């Protein structure tokens, strides 16, 4: 089956004063429609560069990024993004923040329908009653929930999440993991999740891609059997422990701290 | 105490305390008016020259506001150029800082000679020259420190640079802009008065101050200072009101 997102042989280097700094070298990632891939790897290995490539915010030096059978050459409105920093606009209410993408992307929705959709998304992530609040009145976790709604409002084909829960405390993070499953059930999307958290990767994704240290290439791919309605208890089963073990080992290999092939 | 009532009563009480202190200072030292006029000498000076205060106060006010408006337009445009272009920022900053470092009192005779007799124009020009700097700097800093994620949110949807400016960069810069505008208001008054005092046959409160000086009418000089302070306060609070309307979201309730 043709993948919705296809990253083929991508190489990229940043130009610095000390010469080119290669960050990506031979990246291969394919995400089928409705799939959710988590990308993990050592710090500074080029994971954020990857999100910018998929979003069309920059072009790779070599290789190709394909979305829905079309080569990515620039930004496209079929992408929704959320970052570690929720970047809500402080001068807008939460509702108006969520509606922001529809002011850019041509939409068939009327003003009323758009607002209804925003309210629906907000209630889906547990933010009903906060529509008219300002971002400064919300906690970090709630802002991230609102940022998620904004990323989904224009029904993007692809959702790119760049460590969206990285700055949250452990309990809030686990809450948001469960929210993500709820959202995906009601609002199916194809997703790429950049994360540092291995438990997060196996809980949310159905495939985990481990990148090598810089310059990053695809080092290891682990398929996570899809579980219906997962709960946090699923993270404490023997299967989960096994998956985490494999991933932890692969990260150590990527960091150059363990030889390949051992477990 | 009621919060709104407190917001009015506290500053009024502060002004009264200040006036009482001033009056007491003059009274205790037994200073004659040519050394320092007391607040009690001022009502008489205001009464005697009331119509002059009205016409000249108006002249000072409209020139200051016009200079300030020009400073806002020019400063914002300059700030945008420096905020968006690294090269222009590197090129213009030294020039701008150098220009701002020149005491504007030294510019007065040059401008007065350059545009002889154009008194209104000269005064507006000086108010403008002295007040655009903080606006340009604040707008440029506001724009150049915009976090890249803010840009990416819209850029990833295919928004143009102009859209990003209107929807994000401009509103995000407003709090800094109004902070600078508050500084610029008082600076513009300094500019207007420099020209009004120094240039011959001047108009406005500065000229009234100067005529008080030549006639040794010391209460009149102090009365002009009070009138200037009053205009400054009025204009400042107009800016505060505009800030509340356009950038009220940036205000946090303390505690």
CA distance B84 to A40: 35
* Contact criterion met (CB < 8 Å) for A75 and B158: yes
Q: Give the orientation angle of helix B204-214 with respect to helix B218-247, to 10 degrees.
A: 160
Q: Do A104 and B158 touch (CB under 8 A)?
A: yes
Has residue A28 got a pLDDT over 80? Answer: yes
For A78-91, write each residue's pLDDT tens digit: 889 998 888 999 99
Predicted confidence at residue B1, as pLDDT, reads 61
* pLDDT score for A260: 65
For the stretch A245-259, pLDDT in tens is: 888 998 888 887 777
B10 to chain A nearest CA, in Å? Answer: 29
Start-to-end CA distance of chain B, whole Å, equals: 17
Residues from chain A contacting residue B159 (CB–CB below 8 Å): 104
The CATH number given to A1-75+196-263 is 3.40.50.300
CA–CA distance, A58 with B29 (Å, rounded to integer): 74
- Say what the pLDDT of residue B254 is: 55
Domain boundaries of chain A, sorted by first residue: 1-75+196-263
pLDDT at B183: 93
CATH 1.20.1090.10 fits B43-246, yes or no: no
Give the rounded percent of residues in chain A with a pLDDT score beyond 70. Answer: 97
Q: What is the pLDDT of residue B108?
A: 87
Identify which of A220, A208, A206, A222 has the alpha carbon closest to the alpha carbon of residue A254: A220
What is the model's pLDDT at position B19? 93
Q: What's this model's pTM, rounded to 2 decimal places?
A: 0.78
Q: Which of A13-22, A118-127, B56-65 has the lowest mean pLDDT?
A: A13-22
Picking from A46, A17, A10, A3, the residue whose alpha carbon sits closest to that of residue A211 is A46
In 3-state terms, chain A is what percent helix, strand and coil (to 5)? 35, 25, 40
Q: What is the pLDDT tens value at each position of chain B, 255 positions in all?
A: 678 888 889 989 999 999 999 999 999 999 888 888 889 888 988 998 899 999 999 999 999 999 999 999 999 999 999 988 889 999 999 999 999 899 888 888 888 888 877 888 999 999 999 999 999 999 999 888 888 888 888 888 888 888 888 889 889 899 999 999 999 999 999 999 999 988 777 789 999 999 988 988 888 999 999 999 999 999 999 999 999 988 888 876 654
- 133-172 in chain A: CB under 8 A from chain B: 134, 136, 150, 154
Is A83:A159 a contact under the CB 8 Å cutoff? no
CA torsion sign for B145, B161, B86, B148 is positive
Contact at 8 Å (CB) between B212 and B221? Answer: yes
| Position A99 confidence tier, pLDDT thresholds 50, 70, 90 | very high
What are the extents of the domains in chain B?
43-246
Average pLDDT over residues A19-44: 86
Residue bearing tokens 């016409």 = B55
Average pLDDT along chain A: 87
Query: Does B156 contact A79 at a Cβ distance shorter than 8 Å?
Result: yes
Residue with tokens 């005491």: B103
Q: Is A58 part of the contact surface with chain B (CB cutoff 8 Å)? A: no
Take residue B137 and report the two structure tokens written for it: 């700097």
Other beta carbons within 10 Å of A35: 18
Using a CB-CB cut-off of 8 Å, the residues of chain A touching B247 are 91
Question: A113: part of which helix (H) or strand (E)?
Answer: helix A111-124
Q: What is the ipTM of this complex?
A: 0.78
Asked if B127 and B191 count as a contact pair (C-beta separation under 8 A), the reply is: yes
**Could you tell me the sign of the dihedral formed by the alpha carbons of B245, B250, B254, B255, in that order?**
positive
Give me the pLDDT at residue B235, please.
93
B252 touches chain A (CB under 8 A): yes
Decide if pLDDT at A125 tops 80: yes
Comparing A149 with B2, the larger pLDDT belongs to A149
Q: Is A252 exposed, middle or buried (0-12, 13-18, 19+ CB in 10 A)?
A: middle
Percent above pLDDT 90 for chain A: 25
Per-residue pLDDT band for A76 (boundaries 50, 70, 90) equals confident
The better pLDDT of the pair A42, B28 is held by B28
């Amino acid at each position: 089956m043709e993948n919705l997102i296809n990253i083929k042989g991508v190489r990229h280097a940043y130009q610095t004063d000390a010469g080119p700094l290669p960050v990506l070298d031979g990246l291969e990632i394919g995400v089928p429609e409705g799939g959710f891939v988590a990308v993990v790897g050592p710090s500074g290995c080029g994971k954020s560069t990857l999100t910018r490539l998929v979003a069309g915010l920059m072009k790779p030096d070599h290789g190709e990024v394909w979305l829905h059978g079309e080569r990515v050459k620039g930004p496209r409105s079929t992408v929704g993004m959320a970052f570690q920093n929720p970047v809500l606009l402080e001068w807008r209410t939460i509702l108006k923040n969520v509606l922001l993408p529809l002011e850019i992307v041509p939409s068939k929705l009327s003003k009323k329908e758009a607002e209804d959709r925003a309210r629906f998304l907000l209630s889906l992530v547990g933010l009903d009653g906060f529509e008219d609040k300002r971002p400064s009145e919300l906690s970090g976790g709630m802002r991230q929930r609102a940022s998620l709604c904004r990323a989904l409002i224009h029904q993007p084909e692809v959702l790119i999440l760049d460590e969206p829960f990285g700055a949250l405390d452990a309990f809030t993070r686990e809450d948001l993991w469960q929210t993500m499953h709820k959202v995906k059930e009601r609002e199916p999307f194809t997703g790429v999740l950049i994360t540092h958290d291995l438990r997060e990767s196996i809980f949310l994704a159905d495939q985990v891609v481990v990148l090598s240290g810089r310059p990053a290439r695809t080092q290891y791919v682990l398929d996570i059997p899809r579980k219906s309605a997962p709960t946090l208890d699923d993270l404490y089963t023997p299967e989960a422990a096994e998956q985490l073990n494999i991933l932890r080992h692969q990260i150590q290999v990527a960091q150059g701290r363990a030889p390949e092939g051992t477990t | 105490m009621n919060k709104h009532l407190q917001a009015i009563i506290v500053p009024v009480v502060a002004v009264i305390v200040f006036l009482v202190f001033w009056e007491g200072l003059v009274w205790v030292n037994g200073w004659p008016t040519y050394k320092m006029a007391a607040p009690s000498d001022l009502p008489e000076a205001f009464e005697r020259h009331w119509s002059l205060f009205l016409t000249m106060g108006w002249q000072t006010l409209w020139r200051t506001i016009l200079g300030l408006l020009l400073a806002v337009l020019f400063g914002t445009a300059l700030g945008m150029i420096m905020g968006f272009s690294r090269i222009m920022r590197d090129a213009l900053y030294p020039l701008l800082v150098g220009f701002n470092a020149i005491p504007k009192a030294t510019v007065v005779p040059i401008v007065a000679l350059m545009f002889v007799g154009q008194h209104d124009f000269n005064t507006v020009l000086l108010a403008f020259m002295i007040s655009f700097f903080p606006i340009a700097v604040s707008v440029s800093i506001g724009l150049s420190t915009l976090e890249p994620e803010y840009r990416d949110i819209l850029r990833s949807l295919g928004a143009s640079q102009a859209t990003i400016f209107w929807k994000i960069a401009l509103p995000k810069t407003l709090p800094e802009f109004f902070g600078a505008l508050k500084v610029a208001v008082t600076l513009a008054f300094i500019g207007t008065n420099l020209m009004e005092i120094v240039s011959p046959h001047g108009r406005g409160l500065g000229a009234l101050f100067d005529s008080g000086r030549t006639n040794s009418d010391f209460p009149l000089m102090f009365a002009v200072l009070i009138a200037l302070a009053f205009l400054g306060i009025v204009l400042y609070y107009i800016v505060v009101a505009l800030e509340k309307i356009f950038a009220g979201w940036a205000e946090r309730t303390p505690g």
